[in-house]
Amino acid sequence: MSTRKKKTEMEKVPEPTYKGSSFSIDPSLMGRFRRVGKSPLEDELESEDSMLAHDLKSMRVDEIVLKRRARIAKLQKEIEKLEKDSDKTDSTDSNSPRISVAMAQQIANLPPEERNKVIETYAAFRNIDQSKGRGDSLLPLLVGYSKTNPGSTQSDMVTYAKAMADQFKIGIDVMKSVMPTPEKASSSTEALKLMKDLIIEGVRNPVLSAIEKNQPQPSAFEQILMNPDMFSRAKEIGMFGGSEPRTGSTNVDLEIEKLRGERELSIKKLDLEWRKSLLENDAKDKRTDAVLTALAPLSAVFAGPVNQRMRQFGQQQASAYTPENIPQSGNTILIRCSCGYQGPMTFPGQPPNIVKCPSCSLDLVVGGAPNGGEPQETD
């Protein structure tokens, strides 16, 4: 019996399903930073931290710029090297045939017989005119002749090529006689070199110099970083902040706090002085108002008694002080009315029998009883 166990089915792992995602953003990044409980000193420290971070960023940017410039210099060197190599190749491989791709394609498109004829004729002429360099210019003519005259013999092609070469030579001689003679006869390689120099001097170098000019000049900070001596000196004088605790910065912070405190106190002092002056004005008004508010009802309540006391006081004073020159009229009577009025009344002659009270206009009888509303004669 086989004890082979039945193969249990693998438990299927559920496929992960996308149920959306959520992410949280730091409230400080959303402008909801709470400033509760922050002291001005913390603000100062934070601002200094941000300045240091800015400096660090600028240092990193400078570093990147330096790297890029080093890379540009390296690439320029490589270009120069490649150019030198290409010059050497030009000078050494002058004997190799220079067949363009288009020309090679045209040759390849020819029938095999024609192709062989063209190649052989070209090789023969190149061997003959190697020093003069005219073999290269004959190849297109040979291809054209082979296309227009298919089936022609190779001797005909050689004759044609020879005739064309002679015409080419005559044409060059005529051109030489017509054109001003150059100081040196320039070969195609020299012309190409001249063109290359022209392109290098006229186009590439100005472009490179313009790029160099546009590159940021090394700042004082970069110069310090690039120069080890200056860098160590700057580090010694604590330009980049020392490893010691922030004693200098703390002193500056304390000074700033002190100045800020003084300023706040002076503002508070001014505010208090202003409030004090306002309160003083209010107090003055209140004091006067208090006197008035107290005097007004008091005068109403005590008007009668005070009035009476003052009159009595005056009478007492009058008995103690007698003026020297009292005009002798002899016609003054004292009025005592039931309305409360009491006072003298002077007449030029004899007083009438009935007088009117100055206060209530009640008719009073001169010489009458005081309580009955009648006047009492004093003189």
Partner 1 sequence: MVENLKKQIEILEADIAKLEENIRIKNAEKSTASAQIQARIFLENIFAPYMDGLCDIWGLSPEEGLRVLIKENASLDKIAKDNPKALAEFLSQPEIKVIAAVARPLGSMSDEWIEQKMSVLLEVMVKIRPSMANAIIETPEGMAWFYESLIGLRNMLFGVLKLSHVDLMGKPQINIETT
Closer CB to partner 1, 250 or 329, in the complex:
329
Q: Does 376 bind partner 1 (CB under 8 A)?
A: no
Closer CB to partner 1, 20 or 305, in the complex:
305
Whether 379 contacts 331, CB under 8 Å: yes
Q: Does 279 bind partner 1 (CB under 8 A)?
A: no
Q: Does 67 bind partner 1 (CB under 8 A)?
A: no
Whether 337 contacts 357, CB under 8 Å: yes
Q: Does 285 bind partner 1 (CB under 8 A)?
A: yes
Closest CB 346 distance from partner 1, rounded Å:
5
| Footprint of partner 1 on 197-236 (CB under 8 A) | none
DSSP string, 31-90: T----TT--HHHHHHHHHHHHHHHHHHHHHHHHHHHHHHHHHHHHHHHHHHHHHHHHHHH
| Footprint of partner 1 on 314-373 (CB under 8 A) | 314-327, 329, 332, 334, 342-346
Closer CB to partner 1, 139 or 337, in the complex:
337
Closest CB 307 distance from partner 1, rounded Å:
5
Q: What angle do CA 151, 155, 156 make, to 5 degrees?
A: 60
Q: Does 47 bind partner 1 (CB under 8 A)?
A: no
The binder of partner 1 chosen from 274, 340, 358, 367 (CB under 8 A): 274
DSSP string, 141-163: HHHHHHHHSTT--HHHHHHHHHH
Tell me which DSSP letter residue 127 carries: H
| Euclidean distance between the first and the last CA atom of the chain, given in angstroms as a whole number | 168
Closer CB to partner 1, 75 or 270, in the complex:
270
Q: Does 16 bind partner 1 (CB under 8 A)?
A: no
Structure tokens given for 191: 């012309």
Structure tokens given for 192: 């190409």
Give the footprint of partner 1 on this chain (CB under 8 A).
274, 278, 281, 284-285, 287-289, 291-292, 294-296, 298-299, 302-303, 305-327, 329, 332, 334, 342-346, 378-379
